[in-house]
Amino acid sequence: MLTIMILLPIAAAFGVLLAGGRAGGAGAKLARYVALGVTLVELALGVALWVGFDSANPGFQYRERLPLFDPWFAWSLGIDGIALVLIALTVFLMPLCILASWESIHKRVPEYMAAFLLMESLMIGVFAATDLFLFYIFFEGGLIPMYLIIGIWGGARRIYASYKFFLFTLLGSVLMLLAMLWMARAAGTTDIPTLLTHDFPSGVQTWLWLAFFASFAVKMPMWPVHTWLPDAHVEAPTAGSVILAGVLLKMGGYGFIRFSLPMFPEASVDLVWIVWALSMVAVVYTSLVALVQADMKKLIAYSSVAHMAFVTAGLFAFNRQGLEGAMIQMLSHGLVSGALFLCVGVVYDRMHTREIARYGGLAETMPRYALFFFLFTLGSVGLPGTSGFVGEFLSLSGAFQASSWLVLLMTTGLITGAAYMLYLYRRVIFGAVTNPDAATMPDLSAREYAVLAPLGLAVLYMGIHPNPIIDPIRAPVGRVLARLEAAGPPRERIERARAAAVRQAEAALTPVAEARAETNR
């Protein structure tokens, strides 16, 4: 089943490339319909996957294993609840992406569709792989189509952005590769379910954790390695941004919850201060940066960095609320920021600018659009009733149990978040129509309805009734928590580490204090 889900888009991509190259204009049309059809089939398969999934089982399901490539890796697939919801997110967003690029992409359509289909395969592969190196292959392989998507169909500075995206993420990942090689030797297997119960020596865990952190922090992205994201988002075509924000960023969070936390529990707890510090900086700093952006996409990109910081804070709270909240926040962010990028794409298609100042008063000309935009703005702000609220509230309440200082700073992000989103909304939708071009823009077309309505419904559904989504992740989250507890209760370890740090700081400062006392005397 998972193999079919991975191979079908690849096969379709090749078909589209071969058929599309020959037929010219008709090829573009064919490519669009084939891509839409295949992504819808994938969606159906994803639904079937969810229906057949046993939420009570914390282990991996739908296991497949072909040891074809010994001694390198095995074609080994399987999903638990965490992977299930992320695959669901992927297959849900993909048809919308294809629809969103239906008219806005004119050149090299077959290649564009093929790149997106390849992307879908690789993303599903990342979440479904249960072999260390197979995971890495999918994880890295995604760089190639994304590089091409940004570079070929991107905006003015697309080449700079595509290089930056590629090299940043590659540099992060290669260190992880070395850590994987070490793990494979130490544990004697590359099977992820086996590795999840393997206890690595605590001294080495720190190094392994840091190597994985380098990769996932870039992917997530965390401050200060987030700088590729605004560039990539701004230059990528709309659907590329949706995939970047919706799914690619989730690979970082998925990596933390799949590898860092359960495989290196001791290091995760010991080094938690890194994550907390970076999350706090990210929330405060990127929210303020978002406030002053003049480009709509850039604003949303910076807001993504801030929202992903809630995810890391929740993940590294080491308790059930935090982890489940982080998962919900990831899904919610995938829907909401994807939808916001689509909203930007709708007006961009009409005006060909993303500059906020060029818009204004769209509420009069495009009332239906304004309604959808409002819904997603509220989702991004985290208003109760939308999915954003559930995610942010749960992850913050989890983080509060771990550290109240952390949450104190994080909550400022909620306020600034509301500020920049509502400010954006006011400037684009309300006010007087200043630009004559903006006055003539038509409201949403049927195709755009078809893109935005499912997202709106999903955001509302997750906000009002999130339990069906929490159900499958409950059991695997419990397993991660058990691993963390087995390594020593996180709270105590954190307290001990803090006490040790204070002692060290005091010891380091004693000579200074004495010297100062000397001089004062």
Binding residues for another protein, total number by CB under 8 A: 35
The nearest distance, CB 64 to another protein, in angstroms, is 16
Q: Which of residues 5-44 bind another protein (CB under 8 A)?
A: 17, 21
| Beta carbon nearer to another protein, 71 or 203 | 71
Give whole-number Cα distances, 20 to 110, 118, 120, 130, 152, in Å: 5, 16, 19, 35, 17
Q: Which of residues 50-79 bind another protein (CB under 8 A)?
A: 68-72
Three-state DSSP at 104 gives coil
* Integer Cα distance of 477 and 480 in angstroms: 5
From candidates 24, 25, 156, 185, binder to another protein by CB under 8 A: 185
| Beta carbon nearer to another protein, 72 or 430 | 72
β partners of residue 61: 79
The nearest distance, CB 21 to another protein, in angstroms, is 6
The nearest distance, CB 45 to another protein, in angstroms, is 21
* Integer Cα distance of 368 and 314 in angstroms: 35
The nearest distance, CB 178 to another protein, in angstroms, is 5
Q: Which of residues 120-179 bind another protein (CB under 8 A)?
A: 133, 136-138, 140-141, 143-144, 147-148, 151-152, 158-159, 162-163, 166-167, 170-171, 174-175, 177-178
Three-state DSSP at 477 gives helix
The nearest distance, CB 203 to another protein, in angstroms, is 14
| Beta carbon nearer to another protein, 140 or 324 | 140
Q: Residues 318, 269: contact at Cβ < 8 Å?
A: yes
**Residue 204 within binding range of another protein, rule CB under 8 A:** no
| Beta carbon nearer to another protein, 114 or 330 | 114
The nearest distance, CB 166 to another protein, in angstroms, is 6
β partners of residue 65: 76
The secondary structure of residue 352, as a DSSP letter, is S
Question: What residue has token string 């998972």?
Answer: 2
| Beta carbon nearer to another protein, 124 or 421 | 124
Q: How far is CA 217 from the centre of its chain?
A: 11
| Beta carbon nearer to another protein, 170 or 371 | 170
* Integer Cα distance of 472 and 476 in angstroms: 8
Q: Which residues of 362-386 are buried (b: 16+ CB within 10 A; e: fewer)?
A: bbebbeebbebbebbbbbbbbeeeb
The nearest distance, CB 311 to another protein, in angstroms, is 26
The nearest distance, CB 391 to another protein, in angstroms, is 32
Question: What residue has token string 């309805």?
Answer: 449
* Integer Cα distance of 447 and 102 in angstroms: 9
| Beta carbon nearer to another protein, 146 or 366 | 146
Three-state DSSP at 423 gives helix
The nearest distance, CB 10 to another protein, in angstroms, is 9
| Beta carbon nearer to another protein, 69 or 405 | 69
Q: How far is CA 422 from the centre of its chain?
A: 23
The nearest distance, CB 23 to another protein, in angstroms, is 13
Q: Residues 89, 331: contact at Cβ < 8 Å?
A: yes
DSSP 269-290: HHTHHHHHHHHHHHHHHHHHHH
Three-state DSSP at 64 gives strand
Would you state the structure tokens that stand for residue 306, as one six-digit string?
């801030």
| Beta carbon nearer to another protein, 178 or 501 | 178
| Beta carbon nearer to another protein, 169 or 395 | 169
* Integer Cα distance of 462 and 198 in angstroms: 35
Q: Build a one-symbol-per-residue string for 82-121: x at contacts with another protein by CB under 8 A, - elsewhere.
A: ----------------------------------------
- Of residues 283, 276, 289, 290, the one with CA closest to residue 306: 283
Q: Which residues bind another protein (CB under 8 A)?
A: 17, 21, 68-72, 133, 136-138, 140-141, 143-144, 147-148, 151-152, 158-159, 162-163, 166-167, 170-171, 174-175, 177-178, 181-182, 184-185
